[in-house]
Amino acid sequence: MPSFEEHIVQVNRNLKFLANINKSVPDCCDWQITVCFYTALHLVNAHLSKFGLQYRKHSDVNHAINFATFSPGRLPEDVYIAYMSLQSLSRRSRYLVNEKDNKLREERAFLIFEKHLAKGFRHLDLLLNYFNNLYVLKIENVTLNCTEIKNKTDFQILKFEN
């Protein structure tokens, strides 16, 4: 089972990669969202490792952190919702589907735009801040850019160019 520290190393690697693609290919919002989600996944897996828990399926992780369960790894509702929202945005970016749409024969593709990226950054910052307050993580500073983010002071961990 990967250790808490190993998951945090991966969080920092993912954040560095996120900053690199944000700078070098800023129009690839889909990849940035995917990296945001997998960064969040490692935060959650680090948290679960504190309880000796490790899961290989997203559905098992979701159950373990759901605020409505009796799991020792459960998260506060707002943190759980942020994680699930990032997971949904990541699925949208990878499969071009909107999980809120139950039409299995939907003909249009659901793309990821900068407005979605801004939401993803907000969710990731909330997760980073929560786990940092819980465990005092050593999160490396990264600077990002997103024109849809107007109030950069709303962010606790992620930093944005002026």
CATH number for the domain that contains residue 14: 1.20.120.330
pLDDT by residue (tens digit) across 50-101? 999 988 898 889 899 999 989 999 999 999 999 999 999 999 888 877 766 6
Domain count across the chain: 1
The most confident of the ranges 97-101, 106-110, 115-119 is 115-119
pLDDT digits (tens, 9 = 90+) for 19-54: 999 999 999 999 999 999 999 999 999 999 999 998
Q: Which residues contact 132 (CB under 8 A, 6 or more apart)?
A: 139, 156, 157
pLDDT tens-place string over residues 122-144: 999 999 999 999 999 999 899 99
Structural domain for 112, as ranges: 4-160
Residue 77 DSSP SS3: helix
Helix (H, G, I), strand (E, B), or coil: what is residue 76?
Answer: coil
Model-level pTM? 0.93
